[in-house]
Amino acid sequence: MLRTCPSVIALSAMAAALTTAQSADVLTLACEGTAKETQGNAKPQPISMGVIIDFTAGTIVGFADCPVEIEAADGLVVTFSCSYNTEISVMYLVGRIDRVTGDAEATSMVWRKEMGILVSETIYALKCRPAQRMF
């Protein structure tokens, strides 16, 4: 007859709870779709990207070079934005990810300070799904 020590059971339950809690705090997504430059007659280009949502830190990695902050998050939608200011330009990103359908949309804009004009605008339309580790 196999006996299991109560402390081993408690430790296993605690480890499972920690793993679940950690995975709920950080969500890793694999996203595919298109990125379209709005200047000129550019056609949407296929894009594949990884997105990491860290609910504890309130940040998202994968969309832009600037630090993307979660503006709001609930069971349905995560909205985010960032802005980055240099000596010559201002970059701004705003977007949302639907947590039910996996649809993600974002718009990235860059303004040239000295001219006060929009230099580039990129619109992302993506379908995201939870990423699984390869190894």
Instruction: Supply the pLDDT for residue 24.
Output: 64
For the chain, the residue count is 135
- For 58-82, the pLDDT digits (tens) are 999 998 778 899 999 999 999 999 9
Question: pTM of this prediction?
Answer: 0.76
Q: Bridge-partner residues for 89, per DSSP?
A: 112
Place of tokens 């020590």: 5
pLDDT band of 46, cuts 50, 70, 90: very high
Q: Is residue 114 part of a domain?
A: yes
Q: How many domains does one find in the chain? A: 1
Q: Looking at residue 123, which CATH number applies to its domain?
A: 2.40.160
Integer Cα distance of 23 and 29 in angstroms = 12
Phi, psi of 79 (to 5 degrees): -110, 150
Integer Cα distance of 30 and 59 in angstroms = 17
Structural domain containing residue 39: 25-130
Q: Is residue 19 part of a domain?
A: no
Q: Is residue 103 part of a domain?
A: yes
Q: Is residue 68 part of a domain?
A: yes
What average pLDDT does the chain have? 84
